A and B are shown apart, each in its own frame.
Chain A
Amino acid sequence: MYLAGRATPAAGAGVRTAVRMVSGTVLALGAVSLITDISSEMITAVLPLYLVVGLGLSPLSFGVLDGLYNGVAGLVQLLGGHLADRGRRHKLVAGLGYGLSALCRPLLLIAHTLTPLGAILALDRTGKGLRTSPRDALISLSSEPEHRGRAFGVHRAMDTAGAALGPITAFLILRQAANGYDAVFGVSGCVAALGVLVLLLFVPGRPPRPRPAAKAEAEAGAEAGAQPQPSVSLREAVNLLRLPRLRALTGCAMLLGLTTISDAFVYLLLQHRVGIADQWFPLLPLGTASVFLLLAVPVGALADRVGRRGVFLAGHGALLLGYALLLWAPAGTALPFVVLALHGTFYAATDGVLPAAVADVVPEALRGTGLALVGTGQALARFLCSLAFGAAWTAWGDGPALAGSAVGLLCCAVTAGVVLRPRPSPTTDH
């Protein structure tokens, strides 16, 4: 889940033209994500309040559970990707994922203790894990290869807009009805149902037939099964790992993930450096989100023009610059704004660009599995990074821990730059 409380600046006119250039399926999936994120971020925003004020629980132990769920969601993502590839049932598996999460909202109305709440949240994460890679596969399959960066950009911008609207909706409801958590859960359930409905009505059941160019590209990359088959076996999925280009991308995503410290730590470091007042602290994710929202589409389009590798690496360059500023820049009023802008730029240049790049090298029949592989690897690496960073912070303090991450990120980015360097011709991959 995204961090609660993201901003929603208006999309510009340039964005609107870009949106018109992506397929209806991408827009429909973007709408589904936008609606679903409103629903899920409504819950994320009020859950702490609900636990403490509404239920009177002291939720310290939730942190452990949350880490566990993230691990589970990663593994479920692999399952979702593979199930979707079997018989090309992307919409079905994504629909199951969205449906499962939607089902959790009314369940929240009847859960009043920690154990059922934990079970419901686990179910919600399972739904999220299931739907992620089939959805991304559908986006890539319904976009021309040369416009995939923009397609993912449009999707991520819509997704972030939903994440921003969720908390606002929730807090507006709580203003109408004091302690109206049931109302928040109920409305969230209605919104989630609407998301599932939009998916059922407006996302085509099967992705469009492969175009000749994409087919050739797929066959060039496929080691096992040169011609597209109706069903994909587990063995073929495992064989995906033999694709050198996919291995390279997965490896680089993991390597960079290992040095990408989690958002919460970035905001904490910023607070330590600048001394941001406590009441502004919850608003820091808004800064990152608004830049992400503004830049996702133009940066995605840029990645299509100048190459995804360059933009992806530049995104990590922005993050590295952010680390450097956190370490050495004088603590002025501008620092939080600059760091948050760089942080948002990092997300805009990587979050949608990576799946677009993965789609280029994975054959259509295995698209979901391939995307899941990279997604799971990245999530796992980021989780390990959080643990390691927390330990380093404890042992050496925040400055040295961040310096270590920055050096690591620089090394990983240089390695990724070398590993992902363009080949003379795609056929030499073998």
Chain B
Amino acid sequence: MSPRLRLLILAVSVVLLAAIGTGFVLHDADRANRRTRARAGGPTVTAGTVSLTQPDRLFFVDMASGPYVNHVVSVPADDPGGTRTASGLSCERFYAGAGTGVCLQSVQGALTTGNRALVLDADLRTRRSYALAGIPSRARVSADGRFVSWTVFVGGESYGAAFFSTRTSILDTRTWTLIPNLETFSITLNGRRYHAADDNFWGVTFAGDDDTFYATLGTAGHTYLVRGSISRRSVTSLVENVECPSLSPDGTRIAFKRRVLPGSSLWRLTVLDLRTLRETPLAEQHSVDDQAEWLNNSTVAYALPTSGDVGSYDLWSVPANGTGTPRMLLPGAFSPAMG
């Protein structure tokens, strides 16, 4: 093959491949634009004032196509299908309690993705902003709004050039004391003091006493439910295979995701009674990878991926006692909070 022919083949291929590549980018850019146009039959969303102190409202991140996709919205708790009121705030993950909100955001830069946590007042104005070490995963606020917690996925921190670890932080909004990493807490695992380089915490849920919290501890291939004390900077393991705990409003039970097979990414939504440590599988048969939210003492809500729409979620609800059937609470919605 002559050098000229080779260069010709190369030039033609570069043009062809560049055209295909541009096609991919244009197609995805168009799809992203379509996400910001309202779809017929979708929920009605109007811009308005979202206040975290409004009573009996459900707050969440809107996932329905339209100009307010990814924005924090609210609906009346007793009419979830009603008109959604959209704020100007856009979040990957959101949670609120007693007039304090937390919003985990990702901002696309040229070299990396910038992630940050915004601590919000009742009118969703930013009180403080914290840079995050990784990709937003979970967020929680204590029922009285004093404590805020978030979990992110951090790349490149594990053994053997491996991929991921988590980092969980707790913030006291009264003193603005930040505990950047729960891994500095002393750990009692199965009754013994424990420390390992692969300790990972995620999915905090707060109790009502402004000190106790529950979270997941992952280490050496196992996951545990731990009960922690913020003042004593310590955690103690309770039971195994409990991830992303969520404490019921009355503080007696924990809804969590239970791994069905070791090593698999299949989870079953389950409720644990904290006094008897009895586990009740809920009626949801799909794998749930979310931190559930208690709508009241008898119902939990959680996100499932929208079928046929990668990247979107619907919120479902199911009775917390193992009976009944799951029912769609809100199509195109994510990250629910009862405010």
Chain A interface residues toward B at CB < 8 A = 3-5, 48-49, 52-64, 66-67, 70, 112-114, 167-168, 171-183, 186-187, 190-191, 193-194, 197-198, 201-202, 262-264, 267-268, 277-279, 281-283, 286, 383, 386-387, 390-391, 393-394
Contact = CB atoms under 8 A, between A and B. Distances in A.
Nearest to A59: B164
Among all A-B residue pairs, the 4 with the closest Cβ atoms: A186-B24, A63-B162, A180-B28, A278-B133
Nearest to B303: A56
Contact of A201 (B9, B197, B198): B9
Contacts of B133: 278-279, 281
A193 B17 contact: yes
Contacts of A58: 137, 153, 202, 265, 289
Contacts of B24: 182-183, 186-187, 190
B25 A390 contact: no
Nearest to A183: B28
B20 interface: yes
Interface string B180-217: 00000000000000011110101000000000000000
A267 B156 contact: yes
B44 interface: no
19 contacts: A54-B310, A58-B202, A60-B200, A62-B162, A63-B158, A66-B160, A67-B160, A70-B161, A168-B111, A180-B31, A183-B27, A186-B20, A198-B10, A201-B1, A201-B10, A278-B134, A279-B132, A386-B159, A390-B198
B21 A187 contact: yes
Contacts of B198: 390
A307 to B, nearest CB: 31
Contacts of A187: 21, 24-25
A388 B218 CA distance: 20
Contact of B160 (A180, A268, A386): A386
B111 A262 contact: no
B192 to A, nearest CB: 14
A194 B28 contact: no
Contacts of A181: 28
A180 B26 CA distance: 10
A59 B153 CA distance: 9
A160 to B, nearest CB: 16
Contacts of B106: 53
B131 A190 contact: no
A391 B161 CA distance: 15
B155 interface: yes
Contacts of A263: 161
A404 to B, nearest CB: 14
B13 A66 contact: no
B281 to A, nearest CB: 20
A180 B29 CA distance: 7
